[in-house]
Amino acid sequence: MDMNYDPLNMSHEETRAWSSHVVGLLEENSESSRKEASLSMTDYLRPSNYEASFAAKILTPGGFDQSEIVPALNHDQPQIFIEIEPDSAGAQAVDFGSLAETFYPYGKRAAMTFQRVQTQRIVKDVTELGSYRYNFRTVLTDLLSLKLAFLRDARLLAATDKCISTVNTVLPYTGKTNHTNAGADWSYHTWQRSLNVMRGQPNAIETATVLCSHLMIAYMKSQLVKDMPGTQIVVDIFRNGMSELNMEGDNVKIIASNKQTLVPVGRFYHYGPENQLGRYVQMIEPTMLVENRGLKVSFELYEMLGMMLINQAAISRTNYTTS
């Protein structure tokens, strides 16, 4: 079957054809057909999984280099060393649950451990798969992809929050705070003041990416029209939307996430350029594991990755009111 399509932009007909093809392979229930189904699902899921994750838009997933691996003294997980930025107290590991969280307060390098992240396992009877022939993608496959993206994003934000001080409290290693309350609604003027939080750090770091709730879109659209009538930014937000907006004059990308439990309304996370912020290495890309026992077929999505924030001064948070 010709599967030459864009996984991020599949038509209704392509979705039905792809789902029918995969279900047919699973119903065949042979080792070769399960392997082909697994490869087909993996090829579809990888680009869509990264697209569903804001972590992959803040830190670009990098390739894995076996030569960087260094042996650990106290565990058998693969690890590499990451250089720590000069104005950082240390590095914060993004923990995915298989190892204890670790904070490195001293030193020029920190060990980034690769960890496996996996979704729950979905088990179906082969005889029941026929009912999913035309919507397998949306009912089963996308469910696992969204869950994997959520797990990755949740851990990145947990590590981010560990790097942020309490409101208006200075960090001992920079003498500056990285957490402020705007005390007002979002506006272009309060936005400019929030950009100064990281500019006030010792290395005067510029914000590269901002993460906020998609529930802020209406507030921001309304305020930008008021503050900046007739500008290209206003044209762009009404033509292209605001799920990802580039504030060209500030060289900042704004990501609006619909994961409300992770990014509450009114909270804006600022991240510096990747070379000052951290590193994200993908050891094993998202992979669909398909197994069967008798008539039972199980699906599980997993990946192996390492992620680390190497500079707390390249992270800040500003809280806005939403009256």
Looking up residue 226, the CATH number of its domain turns out to be 3.30.1930
Least confident of 89-98, 175-184, 305-314: 89-98
Provide the domain limits for residue 214: 165-277+313-319
Q: What is the pLDDT of residues 63-95, one digit of tens each?
A: 888 877 777 766 777 777 777 665 554 545 555
Number of domains in the chain: 1
Query: Do residues 94 and 159 touch, judged by C-beta distance below 8 A?
Result: yes
Task: Tell me whether residue 206 is in a domain.
Answer: yes
Residue 170 domain-assigned?
A: yes
Q: What is the pLDDT of residue 98?
A: 39
Q: Is the model more confident about 57 or about 5?
A: 57
pLDDT greater at residue 56 or residue 89: 56
pLDDT tens across 215-224, in order?
888 788 778 7
- Reported as type and span, the H/E element at residue 148 is helix 142-162
- Give the residue with greater pLDDT, 247 vs 95: 247
Structural domain includes residue 196: yes
Q: Specify if 218 maps to a domain.
A: yes
> Is 204 part of a structural domain of the chain?
yes
In this predicted structure, which of 14-18, 163-167, 228-232 has the lowest mean pLDDT? 228-232
Q: CA 111 to CA 130: how far, in whole Å?
A: 48
How big is the chain by its Cα radius of gyration, in Å?
Answer: 22
Query: What is this structure's pTM?
Result: 0.83
275-289 pLDDT, tens digit per residue, is 888 889 999 999 999
Residues 97-135: pLDDT tens digits?
433 344 444 456 777 788 889 998 989 888 888 888 888
Task: Kindly state whether residue 44 falls inside one of the protein's structural domains.
Answer: no
Burial class of 30 by CB neighbour count within 10 A (0 to 12, 13 to 18, 19+): exposed
Residue 306 has pLDDT above 70, yes or no: yes
Instruction: Specify if 185 maps to a domain.
Output: yes
Cα–Cα distance for residue pair 159/292, rounded to 1 Å? 37
Residue 129 and residue 91: Cα distance in Å, rounded? 46
Pair 230, 244: CB distance under 8 Å: no
pLDDT of residue 7: 79
Strand-strand pairing, 209-213 and 103-104? unpaired
User: Does residue 112 belong to any structural domain of this protein?
Assistant: no
Q: What share of the chain is helix, strand, coil (3-state, %, to 5)?
A: 40, 25, 35
Write out pLDDT tens, residues 309-322. 888 889 999 999 98
What's the confidence (pLDDT) of residue 99? Answer: 35
SS3 181: strand
